[in-house]
Chains A and B, each alone.
Chain A
């Protein structure tokens, strides 16, 4: 596959790629169908092989070579791969071991989320400066709502210029899809990639989606795909032609949403601010373990870290969840409601209690995780009898040290040796959590 810039403009033959043509409805479609669709103009921008592109900026020698970013251990999975590597059949979410077998000459990089965040922020800043409303839906994806802009600038021209500016200023390849809804724009970006752009005009969404594989609909994961295939369905067109009732019977509520998306109907708005509903941390071990002490140390580290984020974000939690995945992939979790708090000692004690209740099977564990949900904004209500002034002051002092010298500057002695529990930047800044590609559904 070529990585040179090329523009796909499947409907440019209708008219100029921008301005009036967008508002020209296709007369073949029943009008009611069009009314169901939003009159919006949404641009979806996605940085191509983002992690790889970042690495290439730092090390130009990587250009043109197959590159894999992801966990380097046996348990590691590919979180990003270059198009060169994809030719060998490698894709993200694939176990690193398998990827290496498929493509032995690939250069494997551990990855550094801090650097990616930095580049992501650079792109965000440009988009923020240019766009009226944008949503950062992940580290490398953006939705921009430019409804109504057409009258003044020409939406497609505007988006093209924005893309050019991002590429010039950051040297990162980026693609975009423009259409009337988030779904169609996103699918469009997928088609435009790598390094391309596409404009799916109003009224043509259905026709655009029809020949594509149902896998391209966001929301259709492996399981749903298999189900479709077992029904003998491969193209989105088939779904478009299916009665809605049938979809609902087979896939339940989601079936209706999938059917709507397949028909290019999606009214979900571009949300500029992502309210965090929970914060969590989890770790898959390089080797399964039965060492309860180690497990507890890891959980303590997670609880301590998350509690720090809570306090820093002026949040309190009321629901604590602990998850254990055994080596046979049997995954159990347990949760508990507590009085609103952000204090280490309460949260660590709750996590330990839940873990003790949970870890009953004497079986190797593969993953442990902690989640704090039921979040609310505010400070911790100090208790007259249970909290000593010393503990309160201790937390404030620890947080001060961490904010000045880094998150790892002060920690509990038991958590000194634990490794691998990741760090986040401020999780309450309104941005979508950074989820590696292989964990997105």
Chain B
């Protein structure tokens, strides 16, 4: 088996899928890239059993088809050192010895049998949809931070994709905060849903760009498949039932605060430095058109208070939040103005951006902390 490929082209492709590689694999073969030559095409895969990423490179020069597993660290480190130059790979099919020849040198290493590499799952009876690269990237960015880490509730460690005839909804929650990101420009023929784990979403985020190009998505009840820019990602879904999120979003929120997002964010950030280092608790007190943000840490006698003017319609209210949640949410929104909708001090607060893309609908929910005094 023999092929010639540009060092930079190969490096770029390998780097785009190398995120899948785990540092300590139970299966040693997973420390390798799987190289496969077929029809003058080089197909490289990397996998951690849960997620597999594959990329393709067109070759001009290859002799015959075959597979080999090449140690990933080894080849990545080597390729990084080359300026752009063609490399000739020669693989001995019986011993899996690999020889890499550059213009000035020869490098030999031992690979492994490509057949040992886990089979890449194929998707059967899949449903399909297409979504703009930019929209998917946005959805991932806005939801990923709100996912949970509780091992006892694995479904909440992922992002749920929910499809129906009208829209596509992405939901994430860790039981303290929740994000619902809805795309009105994507529809499916029938209602369905699946839960994507965190890692492949992070990887997807890395390969998407902010363009209008379409990402092809296929899914069944076991796996999901994404294809974009020559790169394919296939991953196992999280099995389980996602909590009924619609039921916990309060419907009646009569107290509505409208405020400049950046000034609220700056204020909360500043005040929260003075809050308790474990609970990060801040207090929001709204009366008239004045928002008071305060925090205290009794252990160190730290205290901060700040006053902001805002537009407010509703009753006076005093509500406590974990400031980290507020900061994360405000950071992930992009609009100039945000609405904070509240009902009672013990019920969820909703953050909704004002204006923005007409095809997207963003709702962020944060549970308060109990205030006793």
Contact = CB atoms under 8 A, between A and B. Distances in A.
A383 interface: yes
Contacts of A342: 370
Q: Is the interface of B mostly helix, strand, loop or mixed?
A: loop
B320 interface: yes
A135 interface: no
Interface residues of B, number: 26
B343 to A, nearest CB: 10
A340 B176 CA distance: 13
Contacts of A379: 279, 281, 320, 369-372
B372 A378 contact: no
A129 B371 CA distance: 33
Contacts of B281: 378-379
Nearest to A430: B298
A314 B178 CA distance: 26
B371 to A, nearest CB: 5
B157 to A, nearest CB: 14
A380 B346 CA distance: 10
Interface stretch (A104-112, A164-172, A362-370, A391-399): A391-399
B369 A378 contact: yes
A384 B347 contact: no
A383 B175 contact: yes
B278 interface: yes
A377 B279 contact: yes
B212 interface: no
B276 interface: yes
Nearest to B280: A378
Contacts of A378: 276, 278-279, 281, 369
A340 B278 CA distance: 9
A275 B299 contact: yes
A382 B369 contact: yes
A381 interface: yes
B244 to A, nearest CB: 9
B279 A316 contact: yes
Point out which of B178, B243, B346, B373 has the most chain A C-beta atoms below 10 A from its C-beta: B346
B368 A382 contact: yes
Interface string B356-373: 000000000101111111
Interface in A223-281: 275
Contacts of A371: none
Point out which of A311, A377, A392 has the most chain B C-beta atoms below 10 A from its C-beta: A377
Nearest to A378: B279
A395 B370 CA distance: 10
A393 B297 contact: no
B49 to A, nearest CB: 30
Contacts of B176: 381-384
A378 B275 CA distance: 9
A312 interface: yes
Point out which of A316, A384, A385, A386 has the most chain B C-beta atoms below 10 A from its C-beta: A384
Interface in A328-385: 340, 342, 376-385
A314 B346 contact: no
B278 A399 contact: no
B248 interface: yes
Given A384-B178, A389-B347, A377 B298 contact: yes
Contact of A380 (B297, B299, B370): B370
Nearest to A403: B372
Nearest to B297: A377
B18 interface: no
Interface string B260-288: 00000000000000001011010000000
A340 B346 contact: no
B278 A382 contact: no
B348 interface: yes
Interface in A55-78: none
A276 to B, nearest CB: 11
Interface in A279-317: 311-312, 314, 316
A344 to B, nearest CB: 13
A381 B280 CA distance: 11
Point out which of B279, B371, B372, B373 has the most chain A C-beta atoms below 10 A from its C-beta: B372
A113 to B, nearest CB: 25
Interface string B318-362: 001010000000000000000000000011100000000000000
B370 A396 contact: yes
Interface in A174-211: none
B173 interface: yes
Contacts of A377: 276, 279, 297-299
B269 to A, nearest CB: 18
Contacts of B178: 384
17 contacts: A312-B372, A314-B298, A314-B372, A314-B373, A377-B279, A378-B276, A378-B278, A378-B279, A379-B372, A381-B176, A382-B346, A382-B367, A382-B369, A383-B176, A384-B176, A384-B248, A384-B367
Given A377-B298, A384-B248, 19 more contacts: A275-B299, A312-B372, A314-B373, A342-B370, A376-B279, A377-B276, A378-B276, A378-B278, A378-B281, A379-B281, A381-B176, A381-B279, A381-B367, A382-B368, A382-B369, A384-B175, A385-B175, A395-B370, A396-B372
Interface of A: 275, 311-312, 314, 316, 340, 342, 376-386, 389, 392-393, 395-396, 399
